[in-house]
Amino acid sequence: MDKQIAARLEELESSMAGLRRSAKRWKLACAALGLGAVGAIALAAGELPGRVLDVVTTERLRVVDAEGNVLVQIGHDSDGGTFFLNNAEGNSIFEVYGDRQRNGVLMLSESQGGKRVTLAAAAESGKLNINNADELSTVMLSANETGGGYMAVRNSAGMLQVEQTADAEGGLFRVYNNSGAEVVEAFADESLRGLVAVNGSRSGERGTIINCDADGGSVSTFNTDGIRSAWVYSTQEGRGEIATFNQDGAQRTMIGSDADGGQIFIANAHDMSVLGQFVDPNGRGVLAVRDDSGDNRVTFHVDDDGGAFYLTNAKNATVLEGYSSPEGDGLFIISDVNAATRLELVGSQDAGNIRYWHPGSGDSPARIEAADE
């Protein structure tokens, strides 16, 4: 509860106690004077029960019960007018007055006088507080600094747990844990698109962000140091993509697609793609193993005749290859450092053969060995 309101309540409760004592003294005085004094007052005032007054001017008005207990008091103080309503037990349950800044305050209390609802006004906004049994504010409604609406929900100890408000972009929603750290936030971003942030640790570091951009939705996860570790998003072409990152935020894997089909790439510590799996323009699978510079060294793929693989050296010369011939026979070729064929193994339905090439020889093999029929 606001300190000024609390101080004001304490002062008013003291005043009410004094009024109750004054009422009792007035009752005793009336009893001592006797019926004669009461009759004289009645004659002076006329027939009170039927009398109607247009205007009553007084500094203070009290309504008491048959026992002289004050039930209603209308008065004033240095801040303005006051109105108090007591229950039959003498506890104040309804209060209206002006605070130190001359703003209006309305207070509702339970049967024992415990404050439960406060409605107040200020230059910047109105404010509504709802208290629990310990008189701690658990719900508060007001306006924020930009003039938008604001709601705060607190736990039984008065600690902030949920906030709802509005800013220039739209609505905003926050959830806090019992350590006071923000763990969930949902709002409209600068592009007026929705964003949800989930923080994964007790101290409130970033955990997961769900949002969208011009291409579509995205989900980002972060490690305990607040560095992004995974990202799921849509590309400009409208295709899905998943990227994972190391502890420093450097990308290491990518799962996605292109015009030909799906693809997977794995990068090394130098951000070079060293393993790739994708679909070629003919709709066939390709697996490429690359060196630390990103050059293909082993490739597996499929052509019109069947499966094939190629191995290249550091000079990008193909030195080992295997594939199927147009007839469907297996073919295995070993080449020298300059990609010149030196050994060829061919299998056929009739007989396999081995062909050798000597250095400096032309297109024809130096020797052919064929299997006996």
Question: 59-68 in b/e burial notation, b at 16+ Cβ within 10 A?
Answer: eeebebeeeb
Q: Are the C-beta atoms of residues 308 and 322 closer than 8 Å to each other?
A: yes
Q: How many domains are there within the chain?
A: 2
Q: Which residues pair with 310 in a beta bridge?
A: 299, 321
Could you give the dihedral angle defined by the CA atoms of residues 252, 257, 262 and 267, in that order, rounded to the nearest 10 degrees? -10
CA Rg value for the chain: 44
Query: Can you tell me the distance from the alpha carbon of 108 to that of 115, in angstroms, rounded to the nearest whole number?
Result: 6
Which amino acid type is present at position 197?
Answer: A
Which of 84, 104, 123 marks a domain boundary?
123
pLDDT of residue 30: 44
Let me know if residue 104 belongs to a domain: yes
pLDDT of residue 224: 82
CATH of the domain at 326: 3.90.930.1
pLDDT of residue 105: 95
Q: Are the C-beta atoms of residues 37 and 81 closer than 8 Å to each other?
A: no
Q: Which residues pair with 119 in a beta bridge?
A: 106, 128
Let me know if residue 319 belongs to a domain: yes
Query: What pTM was estimated for this model as a whole?
Result: 0.65
Let me know if residue 314 belongs to a domain: yes
Let me know if residue 356 belongs to a domain: yes
pLDDT of residue 42: 43
pLDDT of residue 282: 93
For the chain, how many residues are written? 373
Long-range Cβ pairs for the range 292-301 (8 Å, 24+) = 292/268
Q: Is 49 helix (H, G, I), strand (E, B) or coil?
A: helix
pLDDT of residue 26: 44
Which of 57, 90, 123 marks a domain boundary?
123
pLDDT of residue 266: 96
Q: pLDDT 10s per residue in the chain (373 long)?
A: 555 556 655 665 665 555 555 545 545 444 444 444 444 444 444 555 567 888 888 889 999 999 999 999 999 998 899 999 999 999 999 999 998 888 999 999 999 999 999 999 988 889 999 999 999 999 999 998 888 899 999 999 999 999 999 988 899 999 999 888 888 999 998 888 999 999 866 665 778 999 998 999 999 999 888 889 999 999 999 999 999 999 999 999 999 999 999 999 999 999 999 999 999 999 999 999 999 999 999 999 999 999 999 999 999 999 999 999 888 889 999 999 988 888 988 887 677 788 888 776 666 776 676 655 4
Q: Are the C-beta atoms of residues 142 and 150 closer than 8 Å to each other?
A: yes
pLDDT of residue 250: 95
Cα–Cα distances in angstroms (integers) from residue 237 to residues 254, 261, 266, in the given order: 16, 13, 22
Query: Can you tell me the distance from the alpha carbon of 291 to that of 274, in angstroms, rounded to the nearest whole number?
Result: 6
Q: What is the pLDDT of residues 260-302, one digit of tens each?
A: 999 999 999 999 999 999 999 999 999 999 999 999 999 999 9
Domain that holds residue 310: 303-373
Let me know if residue 72 belongs to a domain: yes
CATH of the domain at 28: 3.90.930
Please work out, in degrees rounded to the nearest 5, the angle formed at the alpha carbon of residue 321 by the alpha carbons of 320 and 322: 140
pLDDT of residue 1: 52
Let me know if residue 184 belongs to a domain: no
Q: Are the C-beta atoms of residues 273 and 255 closer than 8 Å to each other?
A: no
Please work out, in degrees rounded to the nearest 5, the angle formed at the alpha carbon of residue 91 by the alpha carbons of 90 and 92: 120
pLDDT of residue 239: 93
Q: Which residues pair with 344 in a beta bridge?
A: 333, 355
Q: Are the C-beta atoms of residues 223 and 211 closer than 8 Å to each other?
A: no
> How many CA atoms are closer than 13 Å to the CA of 246, on its beta-carbon side?
10
Let me know if residue 33 belongs to a domain: yes
Which of 123, 153, 173 marks a domain boundary?
123
Which phi and psi angles does 28 have, rounded to 5°? -65, -40
Let me know if residue 202 belongs to a domain: no
Query: Can you tell me the distance from the alpha carbon of 7 to that of 13, in angstroms, rounded to the nearest whole number?
Result: 10
